A and B are shown apart, each in its own frame.
Chain A
Amino acid sequence: MSGDPIPDSDEVAKYLSPSKYNGAKLNWYALTPRESDNGENSCFWMDYFAGSSAEEQLTQIRATCGLDRRPNGRFAELNVDRVRKAILEGVGLSTTFTHEPIGTNVSHSVMRGISHDNEAAGFILNRCVIAFHSATEAAWPARY
């Protein structure tokens, strides 16, 4: 149901354009919301597609997200619990993840609690990335 919190054990994926990363290095604002988002940081609930592998979940997200993705764009995979704890410990902010589907974009979710210009929070988010996935093609997860 729209507005339901995403379980701490679950993962979300956040789209990254090539301007946000260079190799494995992310800009401090890569995973924070844009200024125009007013603090509502769009992401995709991977485990909405239950029973699938991460790559199968990403295939579903690519098919339904509706984003204009660049060929060399990426999704960054984040664990909800890891992010919430790290942000709280690092900068004292509480974050929430809620499932807010938009039409056929069924896994669309929103991370709240981090402003667009919070570079410390962005620094922490970058360190929470579990894996990168191609934005357009299946099966090149770069886990590290």
Chain B
Amino acid sequence: MQITGSYKLTDKAFGGFAGERKNLGITEPNLAVGALSENYDSFIQGVLSSHLHLVFVQPTAENEAAWNAFSTNSLRVSVIRLATDVRWREYDLNVMASSGAQYGLSSAEARLDELRRCAQDEGIPMNAKSLADIRLFIGNRGFPEELNIFLLDNGNFHVIWDLGPEEEYGIEFLGNRTIKQTTIRVEPGSRRVKVSSETTNFDSVVRPFSNVAVAR
């Protein structure tokens, strides 16, 4: 295991967990994150690169139930690792094994190669800085599912996530660690489509990826 830095768990991401906890009947005081703060906005010491690190402070039966549910459901949470209680490290290993199907840079390379060929065939002026940024972005994170990576006509790389049946979120890599992040959704109760987007720094990406968001 290598220490790679720190991750920040956002309120938004924690909201993703809230639903899970609610379903499991887990009450808030039993679950704490990293250094603990009321709004979960504290930094967590990174333990595994590209893996989310949660800490259950009080190992209770409820926590254990949550742990088991997450691990069998290994889906949305890439890895939950318990660090405060030695006994639970056994679970850590189990979960790592069950959630081993991470989509990382090595998984993405075949798609990036295909897109490079498309750029050549179609005369698209591929933005090398955009390519460098998307490789950095994927390499710094692990994703539980295959990413939908595209090449835009302007040469930039683009990734889109489904946030639900009526909502999608995308990142266009503009190069120089700058991104355009966009959310498109059908407004509830109508068929109107709403778009919100902003250009921001690569490091500030905090939107959920399959309910989990980490920002370095």
Taking a contact as CB atoms under 8 Å apart, the answer to whether A22 and B150 are in contact is yes
Is residue A119 contacting chain B, with contact meaning CB distance below 8 A? yes
Cβ proximity bits A50-92 to B, threshold 8 Å, 1 near / 0 not: 0000000000000000000010000000000000001001110
Q: A28 is contacted by which of B121, B146, B170, B194 (Cβ under 8 Å)?
A: B170
Taking CB atoms, residues of chain A closer than 8 Å to B149 are: 22
Q: Within the assembled complex, what's the spacing in Å between the Cα atoms of A22 and B160?
A: 10
CB distance from B13 to the nearest CB of A (A): 23
Question: How many Å lie between the Cα of A91 and that of B121 in the bound state?
Answer: 33
By a CB distance below 8 angstroms, the chain B residues around A86 are: 191
Chain B's nearest CB lies how many Å from the CB of A65?
A: 16
A120 surroundings in chain B (CB, below 8 A): 184, 193-195
Whether A22 and B111, one on each chain, are in contact in the complex, defined by CB atoms closer than 8 angstroms, is yes
Does A29 reach chain B (CB closer than 8 Å)? yes
Q: How large is the interface on A (under 10, 10 to 19, 20 to 34, 35 or more residues)?
A: 20 to 34
The 3 closest A-B pairs by CB, nearest first: A19-B118, A27-B150, A89-B191
A59 to B153, CA, bound (A): 28
Question: Which of chain A's residues has its CB closest to B192's CB?
Answer: A90
Residues of A within 8 A of B122 (CB): 17, 19
Is there contact, CB below 8 Å, between A89 and B192? yes
Assembled-state Cα–Cα distance A23/B193 (Å): 24
Question: Chain B residues near A90 (CB, 8 Å)?
Answer: 186, 191-193
Contact B114 A27 (CB under 8 A): no
Q: Is B119 an interface residue (CB 8 A)?
A: yes
Nearest Cβ in chain B — how far from A16, in angstroms? 11
**Whole-angstrom CA separation of A90 from B193 in the bound complex:** 5
Closest A residue to B119 by beta carbon equals A19
Is B83 on the interface with A (CB-CB < 8 A)? no
Alpha-carbon gap, A34 to B151, bound state (A): 13
B18 close to chain A: CB less than 8 A: no
A18 within 8 A of partner (CB): yes
Are A91 and B193 in contact, with the CB atoms below 8 A? yes
Is A143 interfacial (CB-CB < 8 Å)?
no
Q: Is A131 an interface residue (CB 8 A)?
A: no
